[in-house]
């Protein structure tokens, strides 16, 4: 446990989220899809949901504040800080649950699983692979918890949306 009560994965059977996917697109284009808010709003939400950015400052130390809205009107606000931007190889950022004003809140305060960490770190790497891009996404949350809460399947859906946009040349 950490000082804030967050469990760390110490048992090898308790893996953190790690998703690897190959996209049939150049690395620079896939990287741009992750770093341009206009592109992000097209694919960065589970099926049927939409994403909006209230703040998007893509630089180390820069903040993003976003909302994923379900068709029923449920809102999930998040806020994070970019720790590293290494174009076109890597993006590292924190993400935490927030309210619409950008104040950080505990997961249970907004009806989420109380075991969800107050903050996670997401690392996305982009590797060139014979004209394609191998994307690896690591999030510092237990995979079992991410699957139970729907976060893991949401990542998979969002990456499917990104693949469709890339295949349809929407992001050119």
Examine residue 5 and state whether it is found in any structural domain, yes or no: no
Name the pTM for this structure: 0.90
Examine residue 1 and state whether it is found in any structural domain, yes or no: no
pLDDT band at 170 (very low <50, low <70, confident <90, very high): confident
pLDDT at 9 over 50: no
Domain range spanning residue 39? Answer: 16-167
The mean pLDDT value for 83-90 works out to 98
pLDDT at 8 over 80: no
pLDDT at 112 over 70: yes
Report pLDDT for 13: 55
pLDDT tens-digit map of 115-158:
999 999 999 999 999 999 999 999 999 999 999 999 999 999 99
Burial class of residue 167 (count of CB atoms within 10 Å of its CB; 0-12, 13-18, 19+): exposed
Distance (Å, rounded) from C-alpha 13 to C-alpha 155? Answer: 21
Examine residue 3 and state whether it is found in any structural domain, yes or no: no
Examine residue 145 and state whether it is found in any structural domain, yes or no: yes
Examine residue 33 and state whether it is found in any structural domain, yes or no: yes
Distance (Å, rounded) from C-alpha 69 to C-alpha 66? Answer: 10
Cβ count within 10 A of residue 168: 9
pLDDT at 103 over 70: yes
pLDDT band at 92 (very low <50, low <70, confident <90, very high): very high
Examine residue 6 and state whether it is found in any structural domain, yes or no: no
CATH number at residue 41: 3.30.530.20
Examine residue 11 and state whether it is found in any structural domain, yes or no: no
The number of distinct structural domains making up the chain is 1
């Amino acid at each position: 446990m950490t000082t804030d009560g967050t469990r760390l994965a110490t048992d090898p059977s308790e893996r953190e989220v790690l998703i690897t996917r190959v996209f049939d697109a150049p690395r620079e284009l896939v990287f741009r899809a992750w770093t341009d808010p206009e592109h992000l709003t097209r694919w960065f939400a589970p099926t049927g949901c939409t994403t909006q950015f209230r703040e998007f400052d893509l630089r180390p130390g820069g903040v993003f504040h976003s909302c994923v809205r379900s068709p029923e009107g449920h809102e999930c606000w998040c806020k994070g800080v970019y720790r590293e931007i290494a174009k076109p190889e890597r993006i590292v950022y924190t993400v935490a649950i927030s309210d619409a004003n950008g104040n950080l809140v505990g997961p249970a305060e907004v009806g989420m699983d109380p075991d969800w960490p107050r903050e996670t770190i997401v690392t996305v790497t982009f590797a060139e692979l014979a004209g394609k891009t191998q994307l690896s996404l690591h999030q510092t949350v237990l995979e079992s918890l991410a699957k139970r809460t729907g976060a893991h399947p949401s990542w998979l859906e969002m990456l499917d949306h990104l693949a469709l946009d890339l295949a349809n040349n929407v992001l050119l």
